[in-house]
Amino acid sequence: MKEVRNYQVIVVGAGHAGCEAALASARLGADTLLLTMNLSTIALMPCNPSIGGPGKGHLVREIGALGGEMAACIDETCVQMKWLNTSKGPAVRSRRAQADKYLYRQRMTRTLFNTPNLTLRQGHVTEILVKEGRVSGVKLETGLEFECERLIVTSGTYLNSRIILGRATWPGGPQNQSPALGLSESLVKCGVSLRRLQTATPPRILKSSVDFSKLGELPGDPDSGGFLWENRLRRYERQISCFLAFTDEESVAAVRRNLSESPLMLENITNVGPKHCPSIDRKIMRFPDQIKHQIFVEPEGWESQELYLQGLTTGMPPAAQQEIVRSVKGLENAIIMRYGYAIEYDALAPGLIRKTMESRALKGLYTAGQINGTSGYEEAAAQGLIAGINAALAIKGQPSYWPSRTNSYMGVLVDDLSIWQKPEPYRITPGHAEFRLTLRDDSAERRLTRDGYLIGMVDEERFSRINAWTTRIEDELARLNDLSLFPSGEMREKLVSSGTGDLKKRVSGCEILQRPGISYNDVKALLADEKDDWLMAPDEIYSLETEIKYRGYFERESEKIAQTKFLESIRLPLAKVDERLASLSPHIAEFLLSDQFDDLNQLVRKNCLSRSDLAILLTVLRQDSEEVVGDPEVLND
């Protein structure tokens, strides 16, 4: 039987980005090949064995809402699930899961192998094949070639990578896997510029060598629910605790004694690393007066005897790592099973990707994950999902898709990445999302599932179930808004006793619920004769209360959201600069005609337009659009 060597979409790399890209492409009907250097390390978690957290957890919920796989996979394979930031308001409230990294890999591998239209092969891609200025396939180190119409490269931190451990350095990828060699040179030959980035991981220690009595226990939340909508009310009775330790004067002194062996001091590694999870040596150098640094002692699986020391990331040599680890209370007798290490790798230079994840330099090429200069499994998976969707849509001849930054963290991610110019790797945080109250964890399905359904990532049955759920919330909002209540004596007494003040006139249910300290159940209690009609699940009640209590904030956001959506709808480059825009300065016209930006909102965000230029441009655009936009002065606030 002749081997098939022609595919519509080829995905290179089976990390978190590659898995989502391949699944999305195949589920949308494209004949897809997933190539990985090692079939045994699919969906590997070489660093932190966790998924979620502020911003990142929002991404995972959105991946599930849009039809991706990460949410379902982590829900089924976690050893701990908990809520974070529960006291800081709904905008930053998010889940975080500790993964059984071995079960996660098995679960994702099983899903890939059982997905129609998807073929998996082990192979090392060394060359991108190009014909008539666009991607035509790939070549493996064995000389084998595969043809394709669209190529998605998700090489993670393996691209021309090398491991650094003190003064020692050698070619290698995460967990001492083989590096991806040859592909960097091929990308450069295709006109894709690269840069060098670095990251690091902490040592892993033997569980039985830890004195847990000296550590603070961090249990999970049984009622946290899962990331996937279907698991939102799930109880996690069986969980493993994490633990918390701290550095002290002895620990800081141990780091300082060994700083001369830090790759940062030896300068045998690039200094461009992740800003939000610096190594312990970088922390001591950057904050010399800070003594107490958190160390999270995290399990890696149900049966694993390894513990991950989040907060003690380092690429210093083994002897230094041993001294530093044993300086921490509770870890005095810790046995290091795997030493931490730094890794340096190739990534794309800034400004080379579109919001669709397609390359600006080579037609038919898409990239996703850490090759794009991001850090984290969640960011990689979200990019892979968008890349896979767009590769498949391009095959079908359908318009490309990317979510708006006004309706998702995924939209914020792809929008930021396409114009990211900072040297360090990008990590999503709530601070990146200007509409984060709208982009809450609990509203992901209301924002994105319809998109997933229209694209083809969400089937009819699932869409109907989620749509019925969102409809219940919206109907109850309308009912409370229309419900006119006359304050009885008993009701007024209850309101006064709650500390929210008296009530002397007829009001709506929403107006009562907007009062501080008043819950949905309190309103039910005030209307005892009608409470049988008030049948809402806990997650529905949470969304309902949030929508009502923060209604004023939502209304203030709505005008800015409308303006942003309008500016995003003006796709760049323009075919030509209208003669009505002749008064604009020449460099503005160049921006409008160049391939540097995807839409007009990016020009505004990068401060490429003066207020007067923007006013002229919006005046012309309004003449060509039926949409109404607010005062352009607001856009530059």
Question: Would you state the pLDDT for residue 393?
Answer: 98
Half-sphere exposure of 236 (CA within 13 A, CB side): 28
Q: Which two tokens stand for residue 47?
A: 């660093």
So what's the pLDDT on residue 3? 67
Kindly give the interhelix angle for 551-569 and 538-549, rounded to the nearest 10 degrees: 80
In this prediction, residue 429 carries a pLDDT of 94
So what's the pLDDT on residue 459?
A: 97
Q: What are the start-end ranges of the H helices in 143-248?
A: 183-189
Which pLDDT score is estimated for 575? 80
What percentage of the chain carries pLDDT values higher than 70?
Answer: 95
The dihedral through the CA atoms of 633, 634, 636, 637 has a sign that is positive
Task: State the average pLDDT over residues 102-114.
Answer: 98
| pLDDT over 50 at 631, yes or no | no
Report the phi/psi class of residue 328: left, alpha or beta, with left for phi > 0 and alpha for psi in -120 to 50.
beta
Residue 218's pLDDT band, with cuts at 50, 70 and 90, is very high
Both tokens of 578, joined, read: 């209208």
Say which DSSP state 177 is in. P
Q: Is residue 1's pLDDT more than 60? A: no
Percent share of the chain, pLDDT over 90: 74
Q: What is the mean pLDDT of the chain?
A: 91
Helix (H) / strand (E) element for 564: namely helix 551-569
**Mean pLDDT across the stretch 374-398?**
97
Any residues with CB less than 8 A from the CB of 496 and at least 6 apart, and which? 502
Render pLDDT for 47-69 as a digit per residue (tens, 0 to 9): 999 999 999 999 999 999 999 99
CA distance 404 to 488: 46
pLDDT grade for 340, boundaries at 50, 70 and 90: very high
Segment among 263-277, 457-471, 518-532, 580-594 with least mean pLDDT? 518-532
pLDDT for position 625: 61
SS3 244: strand
> Distance between CA 510 and CA 523 in Å, rounded?
9
Lowest-pLDDT range of 3-7, 241-245, 381-385, 568-572: 3-7
First to last CA, the chain: 64
pLDDT value, residue 273: 78
pLDDT greater than 80 at residue 630: no
- In this prediction, residue 611 carries a pLDDT of 80
Confidence of residue 502 (pLDDT cuts 50, 70, 90): confident
pLDDT at 633 over 50: no
Answer for the pair 266, 191: CB distance below 8 angstroms, yes or no: no
Question: Where does 64-172 show beta strands of DSSP type E?
Answer: 78-84, 94-99, 118-122, 125-131, 134-140, 145-147, 150-153, 162-165, 168-171
The structure tokens 């909102």 sit at 601
In the CATH hierarchy, which fold is given to the domain comprising 204-344? Elongation Factor Tu (Ef-tu); domain 3 (2.40.30)
State yes or no: pLDDT of 4 exceeds 80.
Answer: no
Output the pLDDT for position 2: 55
| Helix (H) / strand (E) containing 66 | helix 56-66
What local confidence, expressed as pLDDT, does residue 624 receive? 65
Asked whether this chain's domains 204-344 and 467-549 adopt the same fold, the reply is no
- The pLDDT of 98-120, averaged and rounded, is 98
* pLDDT tens string 445-460: 999 999 999 999 999 9
Can you give the length of the chain in residues?
A: 637
Q: How far apart are CA 30 and CA 218, in angstroms?
A: 44
Q: How far, rounded to the nearest angstrom, does the alpha carbon of residue 404 sit from its chain's CA centroid?
A: 15
- At residue 483, the pLDDT reads 82
Is 308's pLDDT higher than 80? yes
Quick check: 272 and 196 in contact, CB under 8 A?
A: yes
Structure tokens that stand for 53 in this block: 């957290």
Dihedrals phi, psi of 170, to nearest 5 degrees: -155, 155
Whether 120 shows a pLDDT value over 50: the answer reads: yes
CA dist 330 and 471 (Å) reads 52
Query: Which pLDDT band, with edges at 50, 70 and 90, does 520 fall under?
Result: confident
* pLDDT range class, residue 180, cuts 50, 70, 90: very high
Q: Does residue 496 register a pLDDT over 90?
A: no
SS (H, E, C) 2-26: CCCCECCEEEECCCHHHHHHHHHHH
pLDDT at 528: 57
Neighbours of 377 (CB within 10 A): 31
Q: Is 143 left (phi over 0), alpha (psi -120 to 50) or beta?
A: left
Contact 135, 186 (CB under 8 A): no
pLDDT of 455:
98
pLDDT digits (tens, 9 = 90+) for 601-619: 998 898 888 788 888 788 8
Nearest by Cα to 11 from 57, 42, 40: 42
Rounded to an integer, the average pLDDT of 342-355 is 95
What is the 8-class DSSP label of residue 536?
-
Q: What pLDDT is recorded for position 462?
A: 98
pLDDT at 565: 93
DSSP 8-state class, residue 295: E
How would you write 470-495 as a 3-class SS string? HHHHHHHHHHHHHCEECCCHHHHHHH
Looking at residue 529, its pLDDT comes to: 55
Least confident of 112-116, 309-313, 424-428: 424-428
Is the preceding omega at residue 573 within 30 degrees of 0, hence cis? Answer: yes
What is the pLDDT at residue 533? 60
The pLDDT assigned to 590 comes to 84
Task: For 313-336, write each residue's pLDDT tens digit.
Answer: 999 999 999 999 999 999 999 999
Structure tokens belonging to residue 472: 């219940």
Q: Is the pTM of this model over 0.85?
A: yes
Q: For residue 324, which of 235, 242, 376, 261 has the smallest C-alpha distance?
A: 261
**Closest to 95 measured CA to CA, from 66, 115, 124, 70:** 70
Structure tokens at 592: 């409008």
Q: How far is CA 76 from CA 42, 80, 225, 234, in A?
A: 17, 11, 11, 11
**Assigned CATH topology for domain 9-196+345-455:** FAD/NAD(P)-binding domain (3.50.50)
626 has a pLDDT exceeding 70: no
Is 630 exposed, middle or buried, given 0-12, 13-18 or 19+ CB atoms closer than 10 A? Answer: middle
Strands 9-12 and 125-131: unpaired
How sure is the predictor about 142, in pLDDT bands with cuts at 50, 70 and 90?
very high
Q: Is the pLDDT of residue 635 over 50?
A: no
SS3 350: coil
Going from N- to C-terminal start, the domains of the chain cover: 9-196+345-455, 204-344, 467-549, 558-635
* CATH topology for the 467-549 domain: Arc Repressor Mutant, subunit A (1.10.10)
What is d(CA 422, CA 414) in angstroms, rounded to the nearest whole number?
A: 15
